[in-house]
Amino acid sequence: MKKIIIYFLISLTFSLLTTSKQESISNYSIQLIEYEDNQLFEIKKEAKDEIVLWIKQNIRFNEYSLKNQDLINNLIIYYIEKIDNARHKEKVDWLIVKVKKELNNISSIEEEENMDKFTLYDRLINNTFIGRVFKILANNYISLLKGLLITLALAFIAVLVGSILGIIIALMRISTNKIINRSARVYIEIIRGIPLLLQLVTIYLLFNSFLGAFWAVATALFLNSSAYVAEIIRSGIQAIDKGQSEAARSLGMSYRNTMYKVILPQAVKNILPALGNEFVAVIKETSLAATFYIGDIMTVKNNITSITYLALEPFIIVGSIYLLITYGLSKVISKFEKRLVS
Amino acid sequence: MKRCLMLLIIVIFVFVGCGINKDVSLQSVLDSGQIRIATSPDYPPFEFIDSRKSGKEQYVGADIKLMKFIANELKVKLVIQATNFDTVLALTYDKTVDLAISGFTYSIDREENYLYSDYYFDEGEQGILVLKSKYTVETTFDEFIDKLIGAQSSTLQSYFVTEQIGKNSLKKFERLADGIMLLDNNNIDGIALSERVAMMIINQYSNKYVFLNQRFIVNTEETRTYVILPKESNALANKINVIIEKVIDERLYYKWDDEAKALAYELGVMG
């Protein structure tokens, strides 16, 4: 739009130039012959070119504040006429200086008007870092809250389904059957050895068409989480002293009974706090899902960044939200831990 | 028996494979009643997100209008797949989507793996955005030879910087906002941009930046934007070309572009 306006203006001035040139040729040709001053004609032509160039370079036509456009147009018309009528080189030079001055005045008036429009409050908001942070926060808190909800939902699904899968894989991992044991181990090693982002992209490409973006991302996250949960559970179970299971077995309990009544109740104490930490970790990992614009809090941050061209301010906001959530969660988890111990 | 079954399966696979090789791109779109288009909505005014809305409505911009127009012309439903830029290419290569519209300009490397439609828009002049406090509009490119100019990685502008300013002058960044942060903190001296994007930034922060008068030397073909499709979907490409011809004839894209710019400005000022 702006480009079109600028071109329009330039073409307008050019067309003005050409028409006035023709006029000048017809009206003042006699005078030109009289003075034998072809030089002056050239000077006038150059002067007009100079003005057009100067306008192009120095006056910023704002698409959204074109109040002064008519004023500038009239000025240009007025001065170009004057230049055509000028009879001395000095006069032409003086006119150029004058037109530049007047045009400058107009643009500075415009700037002053703009400055007047902003109150002290506005200036504080738009020109300081903290002000911008609060402005973004005030304008986007609804979408930020929505994003937070999606992030938490995603983390919850990932940990819940991941835990169920993780338990199965952990049981496979501690089983004595070689094939089952090996396959569980391979699964864990593959998932833990590949960066989450690569897993996200691969699973998104595979499942996106029939699951939709959200569930494709959720699938990737819970598959990833399941491997870590499996390791947490396995280590929790294996951390129980071997004597416990030996004692239970020697009392005549079956393997199943030993597991359910002796080992697992003790293992839960080891497992639960670590599981809570896994939940905190998954909340942070969901930020990678913003690659696919599923609407989580990082997606909201990306939207704000792309529209306002501000990189740091949205980061501060989103970072502090993540910090608040994870800090609150780890507080809750530590309380649980204390209760488990007592 | 088992061998017979295996043979049968192989034969079936071969036949199915032959079936896939036929160009069904247009037919599958029309049959399924939906066209899947990938885009990376982080580049106003081409495509961006209006966070006041939700669902499909939140994607706005001139390219999105073009997608809607294409879907309308084909009389099918529009499904937008929003991902980051690299994944847009992967989705298209994979044929997970029917086509991609994300302000793509021409590049030889991409031509090998994707099918280009006719161009639908010309991005226009390319230049450098600098801080108003440091440079005037008359500054020429020669002054930047021993300085750093930022450009988005793997874009046209990064190519212009290495070709027309200096091989060591290029500083790549991922998002435009990152580049502006670098510019504000004096880590780089300018950002190579297309004029229309630069004007978006200048309109929002008028007292801070200026766009230099000197422009990069470009071929018009370089700055044109295209729709890209997977290879072997010529039927769909031909149909898209017909629609694009209509868009160009009726000068629709310029109208969409103006609307998108106004909306982006409104959202940006609001914060």
Q: How confident is the model at residue A64 (pLDDT cuts 50, 70, 90)?
A: very low
Question: A306 to chain B: which residues are within 8 Å by CB?
Answer: 41-44, 48-49, 175-177
Residue pair A302/A290 in contact (Cβ under 8 Å)? The answer is: yes
Is the pLDDT score of A180 beyond 60?
A: yes
Residues from A in contact with B at Cβ < 8 Å: 1-3, 56-58, 60, 62-64, 114, 132, 135-136, 138-140, 143, 146, 201, 204-205, 208-209, 213, 291-293, 295, 300, 302-312
Question: Lowest-confidence range among A11-20, A157-166, A333-342?
Answer: A11-20
Query: Backbone dihedral region of B33: left (phi > 0), alpha (psi from -120 to 50 degrees) or beta?
Result: left
Contact B177 A135 (CB under 8 A): no
Residue pair A230/A188 in contact (Cβ under 8 Å)? The answer is: yes
Highest mean pLDDT among A253-257, A292-296, A305-309, A321-325: A321-325
Residue pair A251/A242 in contact (Cβ under 8 Å)? The answer is: no
Per-residue pLDDT averaged across A266-282, rounded? 87
Is B236 in CB contact (< 8 Å) with chain A?
Answer: no
Using CB atoms, which residue from B213, B258, B270 is nearest to A139? B270
Per-residue pLDDT averaged across A101-108, rounded? 70
Tell me the angle at which helices A213-238 and A178-193 cross, rounded to the nearest 10 degrees: 120
Beta bridge partners of B81: B38
* ipTM of the prediction: 0.80
Note the pLDDT tens digit of each residue in B234-245: 888 888 899 999
Question: Distance (Å, rounded) from C-alpha B257 to C-alpha B63?
Answer: 8
CB pairs under 8 A between A and B: 109
Question: Distance (Å, rounded) from C-alpha A309 to C-alpha B56?
Answer: 23
Query: For residue B7, what pLDDT is reported?
Result: 60
Q: Is A271 exposed, middle or buried (0-12, 13-18, 19+ CB in 10 A)?
A: buried
CA distances in angstroms from B184 to A309, B187, B205, B209, listed in the order given: 12, 8, 12, 10
Residue A159's identity, in one-letter code, is: V
Contact A306 B49 (CB under 8 A): yes
Question: Distance (Å, rounded) from C-alpha A282 to C-alpha A154?
Answer: 9
Only one residue has tokens 């809305």, namely B53
Residue pair B205/B136 in contact (Cβ under 8 Å)? The answer is: no
Question: A136 to chain B: which residues are within 8 Å by CB?
Answer: 271
Question: Distance (Å, rounded) from C-alpha A166 to C-alpha A172?
Answer: 10
- Per DSSP, the three-state class of B58 is helix
Query: For residue A152, what pLDDT is reported?
Result: 92
For chain B, which ranges sit under pLDDT 70? 1-22, 270-271
Using CB atoms, which residue from B87, B199, B262 is nearest to A201? B87
Query: For residue B270, what pLDDT is reported?
Result: 65
Contact A306 B265 (CB under 8 A): no
Is the pLDDT score of A96 beyond 70?
A: yes
What pTM does this model have?
Answer: 0.72
- Per DSSP, the three-state class of A313 is helix
Question: Distance (Å, rounded) from C-alpha B12 to C-alpha B10?
Answer: 5
Query: For residue A191, what pLDDT is reported?
Result: 93
Dump strand ranges (E) for B40-122: 48-49, 59-60, 77-82, 99-105, 114-122
Is the pLDDT score of A183 beyond 90?
A: yes
Average pLDDT, chain A: 81
Is the pLDDT score of A256 beyond 90?
A: no
Only one residue has tokens 């300009």, namely B105
